[in-house]
Chain A
Amino acid sequence: MNSHSEKKLIVRCRNGDKSAYAGLVRAYCGRVFAICLGMLGNTHDAEDIAQQALLKGFSDIGELRDSEQFGAWISRIAKNLCIDFLRRQKRRRNALLRRTATNGSSPNEYSELKAALVRLPQEHRVVLMLYYFDGRSTKNVAETLAISEAAVHARLSRARKKLRELLSAPGGS
């Protein structure tokens, strides 16, 4: 989506046009989901928070400044919601442990990968998820995380290396 048509959509959203927001959701829901999955490491919670973030995006669209990119803005909302969520989870750490334990009990073809992702540091997980869920474009990742493309490359490399270690570690799953 080019920035001009995006601007038009945002103006329509500000006037309460839901169909315009649907266009934005289509373009950015992969990215928002990736951030949430990266931050939370749990598909179920990620879906929930991503939904909240996208809905909040619509209700708070008036707060988006003209100079700001919608993608960066909605990413920030998602990130903040995830932080809130994790903070609440920390208080109920036991519940979280129980949940990850039950997730592991239903193996499917990605269970090993999921287990490794859960153990991956959050920063690495976020960059990997963003890369693979948002069109494998380091430019998008750079925009979302507000860092340079070179930094994205570096982070991505470290994340791959770390993931390889986790996947090849004996008893890693």
Chain B
Amino acid sequence: MENHCQNIQELMPEFITGTLPAEKADALQEHIGSCPVCAEYLRALQADDRLLGDFADAMQPVVARLEDEVTDVLNRRSSQKPVRPGSGWATISKHPIGRLAAAAVIIIAAIAGTPLFRISVKLESVAFGDVGGCLFAGNTATLISEHTAEHMLVFALLAANLAVGFGCAITIARFFQRRTVGRKSSTLFRYCIILLATYFVECLVFAAGGLTPVTSVGLAFIWGIVFGFWFRKRASVDDTLRTTFFVSLYSSFPAASFYAFIPIAQLLCGKAILSAAGGANSGIPGFFPWPMNTVLGFFAGLSIATIVFKTVITTGQVSLLMHFAEKPLKKALIAGSIIVAVCASVLVLLQLFEPPGPPTLVITGVVRDAKTRQPLAGVKVWDDGYGPEPRWDMIADACGPQPPHFGAITDSHGRYEYLTWPEHHCIKVEAPGYESERKSVYEGHLLHEFNEKEIIDFALKPE
């Protein structure tokens, strides 16, 4: 009997569906007429069936909403046609050679762009030093050295940048969330984290990394790799590229804002920022057409170039990674990202370790006693905190016409003379029995002519 009940119960699901053959259905009906246990089980199964049906009906609004949302998102997307064979983008993206060419163009552009950025590094340090001097030199000069003033400015700018960047991160993340696929709160959180992390790293690297915009461009490469792996397969290609575009646009603002600051700095110091002569004085190459050879024009251009450049690098890289990712072979993806990663890191490393060029600036002056005004002989003067330690053994022996590099010892008239880099740094004087003293090199020579002789006199106080 038990066995029979079990057999009958096996038939019940199909009975509910109405797919049980008639004779079996009859047998089932007959059995449940006499077996209350099986009758009860059938009722329960039928109730389940109704419950599931009701549940499915109750979920219909969700399904309808889903349908609406999908059509909505699709309609909101810009109407781009899918890639058709033969179009320009298809040629680039579908052929391995095209992809490599695209990668090469990006990398060559990055390398070609770096000399421009090198000029800007120099100008930046001048501008920051100037404003530091203007704002702090007056009443607080005794307390704050120009170096400190410059650092304070950089960090004030950094703080302002972080405040603004973090302040609008949530708004921008909401915008992403609406624009792209995800609706969940975790998507918002993820976008926020991405935004804040990129912005924070950009700001910190730019401010702490000795103001090298090149590092910032190097970062764009790194973002490309990070985003490429992070967003890959999360959403459609369109959405990923769009998101990457906005994130990289956003993360290029710290660098751009530092450039934008320079004309303001010059203005604060009372300098003309729209005259070509002023631009030339600040070291902007004269071959740029107006208004690019003025301070405002140059840095506005540099600002825009940075934004475009960084965005293009990151977005281009992610698109390359995603095209590689579409291939069934994971090898393609790995190879592609290794190539890009190696290129990017070589570029960044080259920039980090690039020497600042030959020493061409002559620094000369006289070191005296502050009280007696007598010249001091045998005093060591050298570049402090920049470049190698001077070879004192060679300097002591040097008597030829060529001045020594990076440091000198005063002669019997208290005179010293040596060659150094025409970059922003300090020189230090140290003599036994006197307080040592530091002076900045940048304020004088960088604003006039390069290769000029810079005269820096010292008056040392006895201890």
Contact = CB atoms under 8 A, between A and B. Distances in A.
Interface of A: 14-16, 18, 21-22, 25-26, 29-30, 33, 37, 43-44, 47-48, 50-52, 54-56, 58-62, 84, 110, 113, 128-129, 132-133, 136, 138, 153, 156-157, 160-161, 163-164, 167-168
Contacts of A164: 41, 44-45, 48
B127 to A, nearest CB: 47
A21 B73 CA distance: 12
For this complex, into which size category does the number of interface residues on chain B fall?
A: 35 or more
Given A84-B233, A153-B19, A51 B69 contact: yes
Given A21-B74, A48-B182, A51-B70, A16 B79 contact: yes
Given A48-B182, A132-B56, A160-B13, A54 B48 contact: no
Contacts of A157: 10, 13-14
Interface in B1-21: 9-10, 12-14, 16-17, 19
Contact of A132 (B14, B55, B65): B55
Contact of A50 (B66, B79, B82): B66
Interface stretch (B169-177, B205-213, B234-242): B234-242
Contacts of A132: 52-53, 55-56
Contacts of A60: 236
A22 B67 CA distance: 8
Given A58-B74, A59-B236, A153-B14, A48 B82 contact: no
A113 B55 contact: yes
B188 to A, nearest CB: 13
Report which residue of B9, B52, B75, B79 has the largest number of chain A beta carbons within 10 angstroms of its beta carbon. Answer: B52
B181 A110 contact: no
A62 B67 CA distance: 21
Contacts of B48: 160, 163-164, 167
A128 B52 contact: yes
A33 B58 contact: no
A25 B71 CA distance: 8
B210 to A, nearest CB: 39
A55 B82 contact: no
Given A44-B184, A110-B51, 18 more contacts: A16-B79, A16-B80, A33-B63, A48-B183, A50-B66, A51-B66, A52-B182, A55-B235, A59-B238, A110-B54, A110-B58, A136-B17, A136-B53, A138-B19, A153-B13, A157-B10, A160-B12, A164-B45
Contacts of A128: 52
A161 B6 CA distance: 12
A15 B238 CA distance: 16
A60 B389 CA distance: 62
A29 B71 CA distance: 11
Closest 4 CB pairs of A and B: A59-B236, A157-B13, A132-B56, A16-B81
B184 A48 contact: yes
B14 A33 contact: no
Interface string B179-207: 00111100000000000000000000000
Report which residue of B66, B69, B237, B239 has the largest number of chain A beta carbons within 10 angstroms of its beta carbon. Answer: B66
A14 B181 contact: no
A11 to B, nearest CB: 12
B74 A18 contact: yes
A59 B239 CA distance: 10
A148 B44 CA distance: 28
B442 to A, nearest CB: 52
B59 interface: yes
B119 interface: no
